[in-house]
């Protein structure tokens, strides 16, 4: 008998839900503001429905409704960012998005007071007080549970490339780490993270998770912080490996890529890229992507050699193009190449070279948080608003 938590709730195929973890800042010194308990009760109702606390007191999560298109989801995300900015301004605070705060240290971290987060602290102990990290999560709607497991299994091959494209956290504790995504190894300190194994079937997945719940190791399946995970209660597969993006247009490109990959992998018999039989390859590729970003050379198990990630991306975009057209996100997918040419990590390193150093970088991240779309994206957004 299927346990209650595992009952798959069908959702609109390839619908989009976006969640992004956002940092709250004090603009006098651009440090993290551990003010979640003061902010949450004061936000307006339309924002409150889309805003939740996170484990750390300086972090919040913005979440869109399920949307039928990337454009609609991004329009809502931009509106939520604007609303959050106004709510924080009333407290003398600002918001920004990057995979890590460039200079915070662990002893400044406060764990949120909510019961879930106190449970996390009780379970993780002082691991929960490490420096906060900030990720982008993308939900893809899937109608059938077995299709979701097939998508989840196939997505694993693409996760390192998604990470390489999204890298946006080169700094940690005020230092240039030499990593493009310092968030990735920092979050690795938690258990139940990383790229999970490929499940043979939905029943195989349910049994693997349910034994953890039955034995009291975790209270429910969202305590599995894998890089990609099925979400039965939403009827989605959730991609969680990416650093949060500084601006909404960068987010749009990544979401379009995830949605296009998902449609291709669900509707076609053969996978785009075989995962191979070695979990060590996936683990190594994940590290290479976190370290080198779009300069990484990833292991291709089929060709038995390392391939520049930029070449792998071009192959993937060619395959995904027709699916992006069918989904109506071809324009957003076009932005992937611009992001690949200059990732968030690249921009952070450039900004930090000026005389303001890290405080100037954080100020620039805060300014970009509320930046509007480019002119062509704004025109498309206005057109959608007029048609709705």
pLDDT score, position 25 = 97
Domain range enclosing 61: 4-387
Contact 177, 345 (CB under 8 A): no
Q: Is the pTM of this model over 0.75?
A: yes
pLDDT score, position 377 = 44
pLDDT score, position 116 = 58
4-63 pLDDT, tens digit each: 999 999 999 999 999 999 999 999 999 999 888 899 999 999 999 999 987 778 899 999
Burial of 350 (0-12, 13-18, 19+ CB in 10 A): exposed
Lowest-confidence pick of 144-153, 182-191, 209-218, 338-347: 182-191
- Output the domain CATH number for residue 144: 3.30.590.20
100-127 pLDDT, tens digit each: 999 887 556 666 566 655 555 455 545 5
Q: CA–CA separation, 18 vs 16, rounded Å?
A: 7
Q: Where are the extended beta strands (E) located within the chain?
A: 16-26, 31-32, 51-53, 59-63, 94-96, 135-141, 171-172, 175-176, 193-194, 225-226, 228-231, 236-243, 297-300, 305-308
Q: Which of 163, 164, 231 shows the shortest CA–CA distance to 17?
A: 231
pLDDT score, position 382 = 42
- Tell whether the model's pLDDT for residue 188 goes beyond 90: no
Burial of 90 (0-12, 13-18, 19+ CB in 10 A): exposed
Q: CA–CA separation, 376 vs 184, rounded Å?
A: 33
239-250 pLDDT, tens digit each: 999 999 999 999
Could you give the 3-state DSSP secondary structure of residue 353?
coil
Instruction: State the chain's maximal CA–CA distance in angstroms.
Output: 63
Contact 189, 239 (CB under 8 A): no
Question: Once rounded to an integer, what is the mean pLDDT over residues 204-214?
Answer: 97
Q: Would you tell me how many other CB atoms lie within 10 Å of the CB of residue 284? A: 15
pLDDT score, position 125 = 47
The single residue listed with the structure tokens 């890529």 is: 257
Residue with more model confidence, 131 or 136: 136
Question: Domains in the chain: how many in total?
Answer: 1
- Tell whether the model's pLDDT for residue 284 goes beyond 50: yes
Contact 80, 47 (CB under 8 A): yes
303-344 pLDDT, tens digit each: 889 999 999 999 999 999 999 999 999 999 999 999 999 999
């Amino acid at each position: 008998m299927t346990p209650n938590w595992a009952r798959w709730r069908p959702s609109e195929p390839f619908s989009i839900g976006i969640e992004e973890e956002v940092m709250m800042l004090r603009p006098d010194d651009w440090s993290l503001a551990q003010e979640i308990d003061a902010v949450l009760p004061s936000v307006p109702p339309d924002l409150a429905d889309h805003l939740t606390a996170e484990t750390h007191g300086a972090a919040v999560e913005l979440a869109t409704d399920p949307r039928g298109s990337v454009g609609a989801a991004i329009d809502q995300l931009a509106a939520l960012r604007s609303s959050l900015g106004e709510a924080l301004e009333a407290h003398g605070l600002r918001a920004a998005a990057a995979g890590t705060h460039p200079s915070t240290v662990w002893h400044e971290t406060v764990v949120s007071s909510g019961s879930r987060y106190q449970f996390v602290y009780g379970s993780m102990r002082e691991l929960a007080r490490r420096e906060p990290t900030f990720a982008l999560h993308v939900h893809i709607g899937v109608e059938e549970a077995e299709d979701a497991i097939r998508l989840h299994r196939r997505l694993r091959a693409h996760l390192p490339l998604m990470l390489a494209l999204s890298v946006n956290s080169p700094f940690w504790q005020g230092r240039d780490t030499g990593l493009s995504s310092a968030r990735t190894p920092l979050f690795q300190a938690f258990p139940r993270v990383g790229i999970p194994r490929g499940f043979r079937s939905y029943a195989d997945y349910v049994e693997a998770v349910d034994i953890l719940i039955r034995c009291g190791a975790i209270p429910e399946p969202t305590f599995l912080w894998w890089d990609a995970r099925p979400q039965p209660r939403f009827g989605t597969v959730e991609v969680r490996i990416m650093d949060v993006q500084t601006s909404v247009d960068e987010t749009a490109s990544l979401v379009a890529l995830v949605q296009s990959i998902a449609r291709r992998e669900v509707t076609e018999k053969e996978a785009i890229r075989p995962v191979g039989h070695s979990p060590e390859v996936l683990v190594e590729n994940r590290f290479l992507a976190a370290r080198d970003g779009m300069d990484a050379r990833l292991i291709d198990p089929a060709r038995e050699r390392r391939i520049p990630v930029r070449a792998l991306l071009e192959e993937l975009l060619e395959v995904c193009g027709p699916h992006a057209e069918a989904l109506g996100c071809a324009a957003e997918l076009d932005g992937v190449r611009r992001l690949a040419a200059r990732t968030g990590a690249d921009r952070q390193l450039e900004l930090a070279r000026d005389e303001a150093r890290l405080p100037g970088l954080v100020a620039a991240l805060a300014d970009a948080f509320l930046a509007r779309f480019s002119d062509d994206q704004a025109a498309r957004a206005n057109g959608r608003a007029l048609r709705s």
